[in-house]
Amino acid sequence: MNLTKDEEAILKGESGESARKAMELITAIGKIYGAEDLVNITSAHLSGASYKTIGDGGLIYLEDVVKGGAKVKVKSTLNPVGMDRNRWSEMHISEDFAKKQLRIIELYKSMGVNTTCSCTPYTGVNVPKLGDHVAWAESSALSYVNSMIGARTNREGGPGALAAAILGKTANYGLHLKKNRKPDVVIDVNIGGSVFEYSLLGQAVGSIIGNKIPYFRGIKPGLEEAKTMAGAMASSGSVAMFHVDGVTPEYADFDIDELEVIYVGKDELKEAYDKLNTTDDIQLISLGCPHLTEKEIHEIALMIRSKKKKKDVEIWFCTSSAVKEKCHEDVKIIEEFGLVLTDTCMVVSPIEKSFSCTGTNSCKAGNYLQTLCSQKVMCKDITQLLKVVY
């Protein structure tokens, strides 16, 4: 790889041990993927924040990184952690888990990371611009910013994103290069317009195309539709970027005439729905994967404000602290039904310790609740899900 003099010096340890280790990791990744050089980034979004997913090994690793004097050089935000830092006891979290989780947050904070702990930082706290190079490590969020904003990031892992944040640079390969952002396949879509249908669309398309870049025709996603579709495609497949005809900023930059065309309609959505639904009986409903937006919080409040909760099913509404603060009145209505949680989500919290059957309106959650949380899943539209408790 071609490194500048300053980058060589970092690799020799002249900027400290943490920077040296970060440079070692980034250049090793760059060599594996054939990067010619490094590129400056404007922001990072870090995963590897839940004690459930990183365990004691991850905690020790972070303690070491902090001891080495690590500080992030660019705006860096943190993904959801294993609990709401103020309401963890209501989530049935043990004191031991809470103590370790709070320490993890503290360690990230001491490195200069914004510990808002949300998977939708692009709605407020960390908003890249078109053409920005960034290093993001949350599969739904990185797909969203690649596609809907036109920022450039690869599908980073937790340690890679942290190393990039410490250096303010990442290896220049993959989706950082315009030539690799071209679509691989056209998806002609004929579905309705609900957010849940977009989630099923993402589920179906991810299963069909794996890690290719799709070019959609026939849809017009807004924020809520795009974030759920991105999450579903990143979990049923490993899609890191998509184009939408007439919507995404780079859709017109490539020639699609020769591409394979795949049709996705109601039958494909039904197949995705049938595969995800594995129970009719649930103990928990968890909404907000990716985190609920202001619009979604408002719609839920309207949906339930004249209803009475009759069935004893716990409900978690997962969002960011910024959104919760802005939606004070709606939150009061929603809390009649369940907990409005921040910092966390159903997948990265240890719900398997308390529940075995969970309802969600997100196909991304539907996938991971089964594979990472040992849950039987009910995956339905939000109105259908909430009818379970009226």
> Site residues (CB under 6 A) for ligand F3S?
79-80, 119, 140, 231, 289-291, 318, 345, 347-348, 364-365, 368
Q: What's CA 295's distance to the chain center, in Å? A: 18
- Per the CB < 8 A criterion, the answer to whether 105 and 115 are in contact is yes
The CA-based angle 10-11-17, given to 5 degrees, is 75
The residue among 38 and 327 lying less far from ligand F3S, judged by its C-beta, is 327
The residue among 150 and 288 lying less far from ligand F3S, judged by its C-beta, is 288
Report the nearest approach of ligand F3S to the CB of residue 251 (Å). Answer: 24
Report the nearest approach of ligand F3S to the CB of residue 376 (Å). Answer: 17
The residue among 209 and 365 lying less far from ligand F3S, judged by its C-beta, is 365
Q: Give the number of other CB atoms < 10 A from CB of residue 224.
A: 18
Report the nearest approach of ligand F3S to the CB of residue 80 (Å). Answer: 4
Report the nearest approach of ligand F3S to the CB of residue 368 (Å). Answer: 6
The residue among 166 and 345 lying less far from ligand F3S, judged by its C-beta, is 345
| Sheet of strand 376-379: strand arrangement | 339-342, 314-319, 284-292, 357-360, 376-379
- Per the CB < 8 A criterion, the answer to whether 207 and 366 are in contact is no
The residue among 171 and 351 lying less far from ligand F3S, judged by its C-beta, is 351
Provide the pairing of β-strand 284-292 with 314-319: parallel
- Exposure b/e, 69-83, CB count within 10 A at least 16 = b: ebebbbbbbbbbbbb
CA distances from 384 to 97, 201, 225, 281, 336 (A): 33, 18, 18, 13, 18
The residue among 27 and 358 lying less far from ligand F3S, judged by its C-beta, is 358
Backbone phi and psi for residue 56, each to the nearest 5 degrees, phi listed first: -65, -35
Report the nearest approach of ligand F3S to the CB of residue 310 (Å). Answer: 27
Report the nearest approach of ligand F3S to the CB of residue 276 (Å). Answer: 14
